[in-house]
Structures are given as structure tokens and as C-alpha cells.
């Protein structure tokens, strides 16, 4: 018999708790209507401990009122960042509760508030990033994503911002989530300049943008293709995993990504960079060659192969790749600079040998040969340095190197002309 009384007593306690929750929610609603948001927040805090035992419908109502209360406090400028975050969290809980119950009574009512909070969070996150408050910015971006999970761009930005905050573990969790979603970020931006503000506005479709241009409110329409972000996502995942001593996990993650997206060359590059980081140069070169087979006219790829060959002390091959990069893109600055550096690098060995020579006839003859070789090295570097300066006239490092070459070759007129340009 005692057990029956215990059961009845427990049922009675649950009933009392349920009534208490409903009363407190109603009291909080009344306080909010009167503009007494602080009082409403205090009332809800009293009911917080009981809400776990409530029905999904009651939870939804509670979170709806809670979101409204904290949004009102934020709009009044009362501890705005904290209360905006609490409002976002409450609305996220509301969405979760109604997804569980299968009813969307309050989610529909809260839609405008959710949109309002979302954009406030994004704008505040941008302001935080500018102030280099990256951790705060990242949290707000993630809160914005939780409010609207269809807008996966906010999850991507949250992950990137956590990287800036050096919170790599949290960033990795978000990259994992992006991986599960198979997020690419690839798309198209339709832009036009707003005649009133002078700034570019973003449009959802080309038709919408063109209509505004025809109406005369906008001008200078442009279309911007957004490349896939998968490569960057997996690159960051790999770097974090490698940093945590999990190189094999990094390789596995990229291999899985490539299997799911075989035509995404950015992922092959990411895998190549991972092998470069781990000093597996043969695999790196093999992967880069694989990308080159698909994109033979990619100057960046060819240039990277040149850098790899130079690091491996294969000068002939490095020159071949740099020349090919220049052939593809005649204004490829770094290719000219690296070609000049390759030419000048040979000077070191010549100087070392010259310094070891004595004053015998044999040594003096050798000195003359080496001097000629040194001059030829300088002459071979000049065209690349000159071209690099044509592309980037303000490049001080190139200018100083070229001045040194002119001095060594006693090209006084050229040296004076370059010095005049540098003033």
C-alpha cells in the first residue's frame, strides 16, 4: 500500500510543478507586456529548473517567452550582447522543442524575431572581428547559424573565426559539421552599385539585380563566381589534426573528401599541401602533377612545382617550371623573382672558391674564369629583375638586388637611373 501512496504523491508533485510552470510563464508574459522585461526574466529564471519535466508544448511556450524577454532587454540596450545571445539560445531551444513535438506554433510566431536576432548577431560579429575580438565574434556567428541552419555560410564563418581566435578544437568540431553537410560554399553573387549609397548591393538572382538596374536605383551590374571552399575547409582540418599529432587522421579526412568530390581540384591541392607539410615530397609532386593534368595552364600550380624543385636543389627543373609559369602568365611576379634568385644562388659557390685562391699564375687564371662566370650569372639575372620591377615598380627588395647587380657589373648609368626612380 505504501508504494501506491508514494506513486500518488509523486504524481501530485508533478501536477503542482506543471501548474507552477504555467503560472510563471503567464506571469512572465504579463510582465513583458507591461514593459517590465527584467521582472519577466527573474520570473522565468525561477521556472528554469522545472522546465526539463514539462511537455514539449510547454517547453516551446517557455522558450518562446524567454526569447522574447531577452530580445526586449537587448533591444533596450541592457547588457545587449549577453541578452542577445540568451535570446538566440532560447529561440534555438524553441525550434528544437517544436521539431520534437512535430508542431510549429511558436516557431512561426517567432520567425520575425529570429531573423532580427540573426542579423544583429552577424553585424555584432563583424564589429567584434574588426576589434579583433575573435572568440566573441565566432560565438555570435555560430549562434546565428543555430537560429537558421539553412544558412550554412554562418557555420563556415564561425569555424574560420574560431581559427582566428586560436580555438582550434572548437573550429575542428565546426569543420567536421561542415564536412557532414558536404558544404562547398560554391555559388554566384549578383552585384550592382547602389546610386544612393555608392556601395555594392548583393542580390539573390540576376533577374532581381537587373530589375533594380532598369528601375534606375542601381548601376554597374557585376557577377562574381564564388569558388568552392572545400579545399580550404579540409586544409584547415588537416592542419589542426597535424598540429594535434594526428597526421594519419588528416590524410584519411582528405582522402574521404576526395572520394566524395572527385572533380574538386582544390581538394587535391589540399592533400598535396598536407604531404608538403609532412615533407613527403614525392607524393606532393605526384598530386600536383595530377592537378596539372586537369589544369595544365594553372600558373600557380606550375610555380609551386618550381618552388618544390628549387627546394630539392633541382635547379634545371625549377627553371623549367618558372619559365612555364611565366609563359602562362607573363605578369607572374614571383616567377620572375624566383628565377632571378635561382640565377644568383650560384654566385655563392663561386665567391667561396675565389676567396680560397692564392696569387700564383694558375690561381690568377682560375680567378679570371670565375670572375667571368660570376658576371654571366649577374647578366642572366638582370632580365628577370627588370621585368619584376616593371610589374611591381615599388618592390624595394627587387630594386636593391638589381642595384647590387648593376654595381657588380659596373653598369653605372643603369645604377644611377634606377637610384633616381627609387627617390
Instruction: Give the DSSP H/E element, type plus range, for residue 202.
Output: strand 200-203
Give residue 266's domain range.
Answer: 230-292
Domain identity same for 155 and 198: no
* 206 within some domain: yes
pLDDT higher than threshold 50 for residue 353: yes
* 274 within some domain: yes
What pLDDT, in 10s, does the model give residues 204-261? Answer: 789 999 999 999 999 999 998 888 888 788 878 888 888 888 888 888 888 888 887 7
Three-state DSSP class for residue 190:
strand
What is the spatial distance between Cα 341 and Cα 344, in angstroms, rounded to a whole number? Answer: 5
Domain identity same for 23 and 148: yes
For the chain, the domain total comes to: 4
* 276 within some domain: yes
What pairs with residue 193 in β-bridges?
200, 219
pLDDT at residue 52 in the model: 67
Q: What percent of the chain has pLDDT over 70?
A: 93
CA distances to 316, 380, 402 from 342, in Å: 10, 10, 14
Contact (CB, 8 A) for 146 and 92: yes
What is the spatial distance between Cα 183 and Cα 159, in angstroms, rounded to a whole number? Answer: 13
Instruction: Answer whether 0.75 is exceeded by the pTM.
Output: no
What is the spatial distance between Cα 99 and Cα 24, in angstroms, rounded to a whole number? Answer: 24
Q: CATH number of the domain that 342 lies in?
A: 1.25.40.10
- Mean pLDDT score across all residues of the chain: 84
Domain identity same for 17 and 80: yes
What pLDDT, in 10s, does the model give residues 285-308? Answer: 888 888 888 888 989 888 888 887
pLDDT higher than threshold 60 for residue 393: yes
Q: Tell which wins on pLDDT, 278 or 167.
A: 167
Amino acid at each position: 500500500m505504501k508504494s501506491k501512496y508514494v506513486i500518488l504523491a509523486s504524481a501530485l508533485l508533478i501536477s503542482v510543478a506543471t501548474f507552477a510552470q504555467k503560472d510563471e510563464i503567464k506571469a512572465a508574459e504579463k510582465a513583458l507586456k507591461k514593459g517590465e522585461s527584467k521582472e519577466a526574466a527573474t520570473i522565468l529564471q525561477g521556472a528554469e529548473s522545472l522546465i526539463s519535466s514539462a511537455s514539449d508544448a510547454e517547453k516551446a511556450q517557455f522558450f518562446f517567452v524567454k526569447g522574447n524577454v531577452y530580445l526586449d532587454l537587448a533591444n533596450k540596450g541592457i547588457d545587449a550582447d549577453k541578452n542577445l545571445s540568451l535570446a538566440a539560445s532560447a529561440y534555438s531551444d524553441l525550434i528544437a522543442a517544436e521539431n520534437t513535438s512535430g508542431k510549429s506554433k511558436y516557431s512561426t510566431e517567432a520567425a520575425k524575431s529570429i531573423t532580427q536576432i540573426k542579423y544583429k548577431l552577424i553585424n555584432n560579429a563583424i564589429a567584434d572581428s574588426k576589434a579583433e575580438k575573435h572568440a566573441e565574434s565566432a560565438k555570435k556567428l555560430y549562434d546565428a547559424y543555430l537560429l537558421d541552419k539553412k544558412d550554412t555560410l554562418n557555420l563556415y564563418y564561425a569555424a574560420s573565426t574560431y581559427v582566428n581566435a586560436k580555438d582550434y578544437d572548437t573550429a575542428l568540431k565546426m569543420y567536421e559539421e561542415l564536412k557532414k553537410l558536404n558544404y562547398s560554399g560554391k555559388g554566384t553573387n549578383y552585384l550592382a552599385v547602389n546610386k544612393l549609397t555608392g556601395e555594392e548591393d548583393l542580390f539573390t538572382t540576376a533577374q532581381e539585380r537587373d530589375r533594380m538596374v532598369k528601375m534606375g536605383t542601381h548601376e554597374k551590374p557585376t557577377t562574381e563566381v564564388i569558388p568552392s571552399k572545400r579545399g580550404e575547409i579540409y586544409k584547415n582540418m588537416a592542419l589542426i589534426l597535424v598540429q594535434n599529432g594526428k597526421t594519419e587522421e588528416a590524410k584519411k579526412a582528405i582522402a574521404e573528401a576526395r572520394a566524395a568530390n572527385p572533380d574538386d581540384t582544390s581538394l587535391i591541392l589540399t592533400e598535396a599541401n598536407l604531404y608538403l607539410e609532412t615533407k613527403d615530397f614525392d607524393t606532393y609532386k605526384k598530386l600536383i602533377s595530377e592537378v596539372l593534368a586537369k589544369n595544365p595552364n594553372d600558373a600557380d600550380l606550375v610555380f609551386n612545382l618550381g618552388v618544390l624543385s628549387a627546394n630539392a636543389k633541382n635547379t634545371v627543373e625549377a627553371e623549367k617550371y618558372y619559365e612555364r609559369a611565366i609563359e602562362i602568365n607573363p605578369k607572374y611576379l614571383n616567377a620572375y623573382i624566383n628565377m632571378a634568385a635561382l640565377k644568383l644562388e650560384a654566385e655563392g659557390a663561386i665567391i667561396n672558391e675565389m676567396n680560397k685562391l692564392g696569387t700564383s699564375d694558375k690561381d690568377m687564371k682560375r680567378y679570371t674564369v670565375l670572375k667571368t662566370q660570376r658576371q654571366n650569372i649577374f647578366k642572366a639575372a638582370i632580365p628577370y629583375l627588370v621585368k619584376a620591377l616593371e610589374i611591381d615598380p615599388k618592390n624595394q627588395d627587387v630594386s636593391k638586388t638589381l642595384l647590387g647587380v648593376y654595381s657588380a657589373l659596373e653598369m653605372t648609368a643603369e645604377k644611377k637611373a634606377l637610384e633616381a626612380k627609387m627617390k
